[in-house]
Amino acid sequence: MNGDESTVSITVVGASGDLAKKKIFPALFALYYEGFLPKHFTIFGYARSKMTDAELRNMFFSLGFRENCDEKMDEFLKRCFYHSGQYDSQENFAALDKKLMAHEVIRTLPENIYRIRKVTCKKMHYSSASSGNGWTRVIVEKPFGRDSESSAAMTKSLKQYLKEDQIFRIDHYLGKELVENLSVLRFSNLIFEPLWSRQYIRNVQLIFSEDFGTEGRGGYFSFLYRHLNIMQNHLLQILALFAMETPVSLDAEDTRNEKVKVLRSMRPLRLEDVVTGQYKSHTKGGVSYPAYTDDKTVSKDSLTPTFAAAALFIDNARWDGIRVQFRHVPDLDRATNELVIRVQPDEAIYLKINNKVPGYSKEIPDAYERLLLDAIEGERRLFIRSDELDAAWALFTPLLKELEEKKIIPEYYPYGSRGPVGAHYLAARYNVRWG
């Protein structure tokens, strides 16, 4: 982004929500603060809630994105506006477009205008998607459907108005520097690449853990089987990067082609290779931990899992016979002797070696910042292409349907433990050490 005369107009749809407040606006401010936004930019928040520009600005100012930056913050907020409207109203979007155009026209040459529309709703009218001489890019946040059909329907509706290269499906895990570094780690370190196959690796375990329960946010867990969706989203993406063949180049399409190939060479998940669990109440060291169903926002007979472990198989020459174990558990200390690539809470990469060579870790900037900048610059590598998404859903959809239809009851496990005993049996069945 070097053209001083270029303009970027960003619309954040769902601007009254949590994600906008906690992640999107702070990331946009950080980009501005660090000088990554062009001189002329305008940001519009869009949602149904009624709010004035001043109220939007106050909401963000009160968050205090960064210390000692009030002046910069003032300048930034002067470029932030709010427009209230319905998501399925052509008229409301046209009114927003008019306001955006007014800002753009005042500031710069039409050749350099481009926009990003962030949408979350398939019924939305992209009233100005094809206007002007610039570009329109739409960043889409999860969920990308709830199974193969709904995901395909969402893609179809997006493609009614947009071309594939205008759609940026965001998975903030892919924006984490460490996930990005996975390719560098693999392909630029001669010590690793020769070992990266079935010959030396017996199984790969991908673990997503959180060190908290629902704490009044039952809804957080309730989107179908959230944990299975975390596997389908983040973990499968990371797996694809981990297991793919060397791409012809690190360009977006070459990398995405290799990811799709790995996903397509995997077998769909089978019910017998999955264990789901739900945490129950227990007391440890005099402290009582409530059960998932004790949460007021959760129904007493909820079958929603708070834990899931799954074994998947990659059927290609490099990985034939390799089991990939996914699991999702509350946070726990892990044993030594591992190469650890930690994506959250703090990103780090370190090699745990028996002779106690100290680990190496590094703090990294926020993933949304990185991804929003990539979208502005048209860099697609870290976004999910439609066929990648289709391949990922194809692996999980039959299982999700079966879990729902058969009303599979999750196994209970104590809050804070390594998960239900069934997960240990699953690991033992495949002769794999657990955790």
Stretch that binds ligand NDP, among 16-24, 96-104, 357-365, 379-387 (CB under 6 A): 16-24
Structure tokens at 379: 């860099």
Say which of 234, 282, 328, 424 is annotated catalytic.
Answer: 234
Q: Smallest distance from the beta carbon of 209 to ligand NDP, in angstroms?
A: 17
- Secondary structure of residue 6 in the 3-state scheme: coil
Q: How far is the CB of 17 from ligand NDP (least distance, A)?
A: 2
| Cβ proximity to ligand NDP, 238 vs 262, nearer residue | 238
Does 16 bind ligand NDP (CB under 6 A)? Our answer is yes
Is residue 52 near ligand NDP by the rule CB under 6 A? no
Task: Select the residue interacting with ligand NDP from 18, 272, 333, 363 (CB under 6 A).
Answer: 18
11 binding ligand NDP? (CB under 6 A): no
Residues 6+ apart with CB under 8 A from 216: 295, 296, 297
Which of 6, 7, 10, 14 touches ligand NDP by CB under 6 A? Answer: 14
Residue 136 pairs with which residues in a beta bridge? 115
Binding window for ligand NDP (CB under 6 A); candidates: 18-26, 64-72, 95-103, 236-244: 18-26
Site for ligand NDP in 135-174 (CB under 6 A): 141-143
* Phi, psi of 224, deg, nearest 5: 40, -125
Tell me the CA distances in angstroms from 52 to 19, 57, 252, 303, one per residue in order. Answer: 19, 9, 39, 42
Q: Residues 116-133, buried b or exposed e (16+ Cβ, 10 A)? A: bbbbbebebbbbbbeebe
Q: Is 48 in the site for ligand NDP (CB under 6 A)?
A: yes
- Which of residues 6 and 92 has its CB atom nearest to ligand NDP in the complex? 92
Query: Tokens 């990469």, residue?
Result: 349
In this structure, what token pair is assigned to residue 364? 């990294």
The pair phi, psi for residue 97, each rounded to 5°, is -60, -40
DSSP string covering 385-412: -HHHHHHHHHHHHHHHHHHHHTTPPPEE
338 touches 292 (CB < 8 A): no
What residues numbered 81-140 form the site for ligand NDP, per CB under 6 A? 87, 120
Cβ closest to ligand NDP, residue 16 vs residue 325 = 16
Which of 3, 5, 34, 49 is in the footprint of ligand NDP by CB under 6 A? 49
Q: From the CB of residue 88, how many other CB atoms can be counted at a distance below 10 Å? A: 12
The question of whether 234 is a catalytic residue gets the answer yes
> Quick one: 15 or 182, whose CB is closer to ligand NDP?
15
Place of tokens 């959250």: 344
CB of 90 vs ligand NDP, minimal distance in Å:
17
Which residues does the annotation mark as catalytic? 234
What residues line the site for ligand NDP (CB under 6 A)?
14-20, 47-49, 87, 120, 141-143
